Amino acid sequence: MNDALTTLGREAEAEFEEKKSVFIAHVCPVSGEAEAQDYIKRKKAEFADARHNVWGYRMAGDIIVRCSDDGEPQGSAGVPTLDVLRKSGVSNAVIVTTRYFGGILLGAGGLVRAYSTAARMAVEAAGIVTYTRFDELCLICSYANYQRYLAELPKFGAKTDSTDFAAEVTLRFAVPAEATAALCRRVVEMSNGADVPARTGERFDKGEG
């Protein structure tokens, strides 16, 4: 599994006109395929009066990729849209480009250029961000050890999520996945094997800070 995720910074749109045809590209970061399909459905409903609503999405690199020409000549719209995501290095993202036909045929080459341009403009408007994969951990320890761990966690880029104080301290935190093993070894060393962090999940988040 990749320890980093490059995706869109936000939802955005861009408009491009070619020989009286108007291309409106909408892009959005998504968490998974179901969210991408829902976004496509909503945009197709919003622009139901348009001749075409071309779409493409890419998840987890190229593990899941889908696209549709939506009535345009095969290979002239969906694949070029998907290629914009690939060339940008963007995953977990969806593009829907609406075309209002202007009465002049563009030909296959013209369509490829138009759909690519609209998609690229929208991706540029959204911006590109990279997130780090964090492992979420839970650690139950004594009050004395808790104070020691608080000083140690930042050395591994860890972020504290929550702390519960009872007979013992329950500390929940997240650490960059690449540092998880080293941090766990350090906790075991510091406690002489008494404390062992338990992994409870994972998430993609910004880096330290």
pLDDT of 61: 66
Where are the CATH 3.30.230.30 domain residues in the chain? Answer: 4-126
Which pLDDT band holds residue 74 (cuts at 50, 70, 90)? very high
Confidence band of 55 (pLDDT split at 50, 70, 90): very high
Selecting from 3.40.190.80, 3.10.310.30, 3.30.70.240, 3.40.30.10, what CATH number does the domain 133-205 have?
3.30.70.240
SS3 23: strand
pLDDT at 209 over 60: no
Whether 41 shows a pLDDT value over 60: the answer reads yes
Q: How would you label 112-129 residue by residue, b for 16+ Cβ within 10 Å and e otherwise?
A: bbbbbbbbbbbbebbeee
Residues 154-189 have pLDDT tens digits of 999 999 999 999 999 999 999 999 999 999 999 999
CATH class of 4-126: alpha beta
Convert the pLDDT of each residue in 106-129 to its tens digit: 898 999 999 999 999 999 999 999
